């Protein structure tokens, strides 16, 4: 896995991570850098089926069931897509990973952190992201962006207090002490997610160029 790079995009609803991941994927392709873009939940036939269950706005799911379904999708994605791609020397761009579980299921739903971390270890083994780009935006601003895209999915419909807890958790993850106590998450870079997508992409590529100058030094917006 040393030949590839696992770059994760994280953030609350409407932070722009999917847009920024897509733009980076397109830029890498134009620069001749081999990459693959995947998302959680999903990215495999099993994961895509789980995604439909998890995001169905009409479905009621117990909190523990929700967490375990996310883990099942993650285990499949790790085994079927992420590890093989890294072994081939590919840059893997991943939309959500560890931090979303700790934000949504631990902080948001109130599940026990150590139990969730244990399930995560089972799903991913020793896989650690090379860098997580954490896009920072106020939860209510992000939800307003999400609402502009259409009706809310099951996770988006969880309520303002839930999303406030999620947003506060994401900001906590940028603290070095938190990162030191959660080495499975790897390095995390907090990026201002406000403004237009061009400005945000400049911030994203700037962080990547500083972190991996040989690989991303020529990537520009």
For the stretch 96-150, pLDDT in tens is: 999 999 999 999 999 999 999 999 999 999 999 999 999 999 988 988 888 888 8
DSSP 174: T
Measured CA to CA, the distance from residue 162 to residue 156 in angstroms comes to 10
Q: Residue 103 in contact with residue 173, Cβ under 8 Å?
A: yes
Eight-state DSSP code of residue 205: H
Q: How far is CA 31 from the centre of its chain?
A: 24
**Mean pLDDT for the chain overall:** 94
Q: Please tell us whether the domain made up of 5-216 is placed in CATH 3.40.50.300.
A: yes
Q: What are 42's two structure tokens?
A: 């999903």
Q: CA 95 to CA 20: how far, in whole Å?
A: 10
Residue 1, pLDDT score: 41
Note the pLDDT tens digit of each residue in 80-106. 999 999 999 999 999 999 999 999 999
Report residue 2's pLDDT band, with 50, 70 and 90 as the boundaries.
Answer: very low
């Amino acid at each position: 896995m040393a030949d590839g790079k696992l770059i994760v995009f994280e953030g609350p609803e409407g932070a722009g991570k999917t847009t920024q991941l897509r733009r980076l994927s397109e830029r890498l392709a134009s620069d001749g850098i081999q990459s693959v873009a995947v998302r959680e939940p999903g990215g495999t036939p099993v994961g895509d089926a789980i995604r439909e269950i998890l995001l169905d706005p009409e479905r009621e799911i117990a909190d523990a069931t929700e967490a375990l379904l996310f883990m099942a999708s993650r285990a499949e994605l790790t085994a079927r897509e992420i590890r093989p791609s890294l072994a081939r020397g590919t840059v893997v761009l991943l939309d959500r990973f560890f931090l979303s579980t700790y934000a949504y299921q631990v902080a948001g739903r109130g599940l026990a952190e150590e139990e969730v971390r244990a399930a995560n270890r089972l799903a991913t083994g020793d896989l650690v992201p090379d860098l997580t780009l954490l896009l920072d935006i106020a939860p209510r601003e992000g939800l307003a962006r999400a609402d502009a895209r259409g009706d809310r999915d099951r996770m988006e419909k969880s309520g303002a207090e839930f999303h406030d807890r999620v947003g506060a958790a994401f900001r906590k993850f940028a603290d070095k002490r938190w990162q030191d106590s959660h080495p499975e998450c790897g390095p995390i870079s907090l990026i201002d997610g406000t403004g237009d997508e061009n400005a945000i992409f400049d911030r994203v590529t700037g962080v990547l160029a500083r972190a991996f100058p040989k690989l991303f030094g020529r990537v520009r917006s």
